[in-house]
């Protein structure tokens, strides 16, 4: 018998009724308010079919990785999620990632979910919930909800948790931000610009560009929220390029650990882009970014639709929806998100 309790019915989150009210009347009739953490917790961890979720163990990282590779995406999708076991083990040991697992009476893994440290907000630690997976025969039986109750407890003192969904209609709680996305495959021909000058990328430390990237983004999104994460456990990559003698740019790239099965091609996301000292004209930005993207060590690149780009090769992708529990976003109810800890 499945549990009658549902995590999202008890979790401290803005209701759809409150969200719609603010969308209808704000900002014209409601004064802007500050974002406020909501510290109340949902109920305690619970058993499901007599099984109690337990904290994920670093020594089981290989098992979790294979479990997600096999089951996270349906076989018909042609895509596999391949999280390096060494990365997962390191993050579990360092507590950058907190996880929960459920096993049946034979100790066989039937479900897992993870929470990645996403920085502090007003002195409150936050996390990004991701990689939730349950074996098909145990789905719709309350396993996911039971794991989330446990994850919320085991990940203390994290009291704010972010969720990412493909499309706001799939989100169980109201969105904080919706973002249209675009995707394309790498094109090797666009590698030289501006007087036959070679565009060459090189890896740079995240710390070198982090503050500059946040400052430029905040200048354009003053009401936005930055999920900064931890540099120690981050898999975020920064690729920089000296485009002209007086202009340098950097791309923030997030490996998604997704692999196309038939070709073994890799996927990534372009999170944001940075210019130093100042951004060039919009048309030049598009050309520079396109050439840099074509030098990345990934075959498929997804990016925000707001990124300056050249039409033609790019195709619309799924719309990304960000939601949060343990957080009241105030008004305006929708706020842009810079996810420097995405996965």
Alpha helices in 56-198 (DSSP H): 61-71, 85-94, 143-154
Specify the DSSP class assigned to residue 57. -
What is the reported pLDDT for 5?
A: 76
Dihedral angle sign, alpha carbons of residues 91, 93, 96, 101: positive
Token representation of residue 78: 């042609």
Question: In which element (H, E) is residue 318 found?
Answer: none
Separation in Å, CA 139 to CA 48, 142, 144, 164? 12, 7, 8, 20
> Do residues 101 and 112 touch, judged by C-beta distance below 8 A?
yes
Residue 170 zone, left/alpha/beta (φ > 0; ψ -120 to 50; rest) = alpha
Give residue-wise pLDDT tens across range 135-150: 999 998 999 999 999 9
Cα–Cα distance measured from residue 227 to residue 234, given in angstroms and rounded to the nearest whole number: 12
pLDDT tens-place values along the chain, 343 residues long: 445 678 888 888 888 888 888 888 765 443 434 445 555 555 566 778 888 899 999 999 999 999 999 999 999 999 999 999 999 999 999 999 999 999 999 999 999 999 999 998 888 899 999 999 999 999 989 999 999 999 998 998 998 999 998 866 667 888 999 999 999 999 865 544 444 456 789 999 988 998 899 999 999 998 889 998 776 667 899 999 999 999 999 999 999 999 999 999 999 999 999 999 999 999 999 999 999 999 999 999 999 999 999 988 899 998 899 999 888 877 778 889 999 886 6
Three-state secondary-structure class, residue 30: coil
Token representation of residue 194: 């501006």
What is the reported pLDDT for 121?
A: 85
User: Which class is domain 7-165?
Assistant: alpha beta
* The residue count for the chain: 343
Residue 150 backbone dihedrals phi, psi, to 5 degrees: -70, -40
Sequential DSSP letters for 170-232: G-SS-EEEEE-EEEEE--TT--EETTTEE---EEE-HHHHHHHHHHHHHHH-TT-EEE---TT
What is the reported pLDDT for 23?
A: 82
Specify the DSSP class assigned to residue 306. T
What is the reported pLDDT for 169?
A: 63
Residue 86 backbone dihedrals phi, psi, to 5 degrees: -65, -40
Q: How far apart are the first and last CA of the chain?
A: 33
CA 160 to chain centre: 15
How much of the chain is in helix, strand and coil states, percent to nearest 5? 25, 35, 40
Domain locations along the chain: 7-165, 182-318
């Amino acid at each position: 018998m499945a549990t009658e309790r549902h995590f999202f019915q008890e979790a401290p989150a803005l209701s759809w009724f409150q969200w719609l009210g603010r969308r209808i009347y704000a900002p014209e009739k409601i004064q802007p308010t500050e974002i406020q953490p909501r510290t109340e917790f949902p109920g305690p961890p619970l058993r499901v079919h007599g099984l109690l979720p337990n904290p994920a163990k670093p020594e089981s990282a290989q098992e979790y990785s294979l479990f997600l590779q096999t089951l996270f995406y349906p076989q018909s999708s042609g895509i596999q999620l391949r999280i390096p076991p060494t990365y997962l083990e390191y993050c579990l040991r360092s507590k950058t990632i907190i996880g929960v697992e459920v096993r049946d009476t034979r100790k066989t893994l039937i479900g897992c979910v993870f929470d990645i440290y996403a920085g502090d907000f007003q002195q409150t630690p936050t996390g990004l919930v991701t990689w939730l997976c349950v074996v098909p025969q145990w789905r719709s039986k309350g396993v996911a909800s039971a794991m989330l109750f446990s994850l919320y407890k085991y990940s203390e003192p994290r009291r704010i948790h972010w969720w990412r969904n493909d499309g706001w209609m799939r989100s169980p709680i109201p969105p904080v931000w919706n973002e249209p996305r675009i995707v394309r495959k790498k094109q090797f021909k666009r590698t030289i610009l501006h007087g036959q000058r070679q565009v060459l990328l090189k890896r740079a430390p995240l710390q070198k560009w982090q503050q500059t990237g946040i400052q430029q983004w905040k200048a354009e999104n003053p009401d936005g929220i930055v999920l900064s994460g931890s540099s120690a456990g981050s898999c975020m990559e920064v690729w920089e390029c000296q485009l002209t003698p007086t202009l340098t740019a950097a791309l923030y790239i997030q490996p998604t650990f997704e692999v196309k099965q038939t070709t073994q091609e890799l996927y990534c996301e372009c999170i944001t882009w940075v210019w130093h000292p100042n951004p060039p004209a919009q048309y030049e930005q598009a050309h520079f970014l396109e050439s840099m993207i074509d030098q990345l060590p990934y075959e498929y690149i997804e990016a925000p639709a707001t990124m300056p780009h050249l039409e033609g090769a790019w195709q619309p992708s799924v719309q990304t929806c960000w939601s949060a529990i343990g957080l009241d976003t105030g008004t305006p109810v929708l706020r842009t998100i810079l996810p420097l800890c995405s996965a």
